[in-house]
Amino acid sequence: LLPFALNRREDAIWSEMRDSKLSENLAIKIEQFRSRGRLASFEGEIFDEQSWIDLMIGCGIVPGRYDPMAASLDMTHMARRLKNLSVAFDQALVRTPEYEDGVRDFGSNETR
């Protein structure tokens, strides 16, 4: 419901969605993220943490302060880890088939 609650459209139906009361869990999740970039987790959620972060920022919610735990990270290790991650992405892209090849290969592996 987050995209509906945070929409910026002016049409009556969209304004009504934006002005309707949020569920308690969603209100907590938005406030926690807006306040300090943390996400409250609730039972039965289908989004993972990164999806929530992407959605929140995409909807214009930016944390007001950073998490103090971030100051405890050793940036020399982070730079190396990010470089390794970048290399892993590059390798995955090289191994990923072109769209047409992937569709053809997928179709040839189906059980008939």
| Total tally of structural domains belonging to the chain | 2
Q: Is residue 66 part of a domain?
A: no
Q: Is the pLDDT of residue 79 over 90?
A: no
Q: Is residue 85 part of a domain?
A: yes
Q: Is residue 48 part of a domain?
A: yes
Q: Do 30 and 53 fall within a single domain?
A: yes
Q: Do 36 and 11 fall within a single domain?
A: yes
Q: Is the pLDDT of residue 112 over 50?
A: no
Q: Do 51 and 92 fall within a single domain?
A: no
Q: Do 50 and 15 fall within a single domain?
A: yes
Q: Is residue 64 part of a domain?
A: no
Q: Which of 20, 17, 21, 26 is nearest to 44 (CA)?
A: 26
| Secondary structure letter of residue 88 according to DSSP | H
Q: Do 77 and 54 fall within a single domain?
A: no
% of the chain at pLDDT higher than 90: 25
Q: Is residue 91 part of a domain?
A: yes
- The SS3 of residue 80 is helix
Of 111 and 7, the structure prediction assigns the larger pLDDT to 7
Q: Is residue 45 part of a domain?
A: yes
Residues 30-55 as b/e (b if ≥16 CB within 10 A, e otherwise) read beebeeebebeeeeeeeeeeeebbee
Q: Is the pLDDT of residue 84 over 50?
A: yes
In angstroms, the CA 71 to CA 73 distance is: 6
- 30 Cβ contact list (under 8 Å, min separation 6): 2, 5, 22, 56, 61
What predicted TM-score, i.e. pTM, was given to this entire model? 0.56
* Confidence category of residue 76, pLDDT binned at 50, 70, 90: confident
Q: Is residue 20 part of a domain?
A: yes
Q: Do 9 and 37 fall within a single domain?
A: yes
Residue range of the domain that includes 93: 73-108
pLDDT digits (tens, 9 = 90+) for 26-51: 899 999 999 988 888 888 888 888 99
